[in-house]
Amino acid sequence: MSVYLSIVVPLYNESESVEKLLATIVEVGKEFDFDYEIILVDDGSEDETWEIIERLKRTTPQLTAIKFRRNYGQTNAMVAGFDHATGEIIATMDGDLQNDPSDIPTLLDKIKEGYDIVSGWRKNRKDHILRVLPSRVANAIISLTTGVHLHDYGCSLKVYRAECIKPLEAYGEMHRFFPALSSMTGARLTEVPVKHYQRKYGVSKYGFERILKVLSDIFAMNLIIRFSSMPLK
């Protein structure tokens, strides 16, 4: 049978969480009435993440794994997962156990209603205020810049029709713009509240440098929109 759902998860130094993450996804998958695959992308981890993935592959037939030689960033890891995905629908999520795989069926229900992209909204977000406030500012700027309003562009838990997400080109931190870019080409987009948990293991990869990258990509996105809307001479 053909694969209906591909679940893409970028990982960077998640040795303490990857085994529990995979077990949770597989448990949720028991309720699926379709075939699915899990694509873990090791984004150049410096801990034991890859060794654990290789061990888990031996007992998890749904699992495909990709390893980067060095850290290329979350966007590139997602795109690599998209390139390897064979499903009609692609789900993305973080690998740090802050997203809940049990929310995936809720997002899929919206796909069945006719939407092309369903974005998670961490309505009750469990991060520190110093992460939440910049994120809210970025969400407001992105919504204003693109004309596509979402409460939570930064939430990695999303579901896409493969034909909407695979053609997109991305770099930097552009993965957060995927819903807006797809919506601007005619894709139907909606947002659904999802659960969010405090990080239990490891440390956040979201620092000042990443904030600067996001701001840079917002500027680049603004240029893309401006020039794509200019009439040809």
> What averages of pLDDT result for each successive group of 10 residues across the chain (233 residues)?
91 97 98 98 98 98 98 95 98 97 98 98 87 82 87 95 90 81 91 94 59 63 57 41
Task: Check residue 228 and give its pLDDT.
Answer: 56
Burial class (CB in 10 A: 0-12, 13-18, 19+), 75: buried
Task: Check residue 231 and give its pLDDT.
Answer: 45
Task: Check residue 224 and give its pLDDT.
Answer: 60
CATH of 5-228, one of 3.90.1720.10, 3.40.50.1860, 3.90.550.10, 1.10.10.10: 3.90.550.10
pLDDT per residue over 164-198, tens digit each? 999 987 776 788 889 988 988 899 999 999 999 99
Global pTM value: 0.87
Length of the chain: 233
Sign (positive or negative) of CA dihedral 170, 176, 181, 187: positive
| Structure-token match 């996804």, residue found | 25
Residue 44: left (phi > 0), alpha (psi -120 to 50), or beta? left
Rounded to an integer, what distance in angstroms lies between the CA atom of residue 227 and that of residue 223? 6
Task: Check residue 41 and give its pLDDT.
Answer: 99
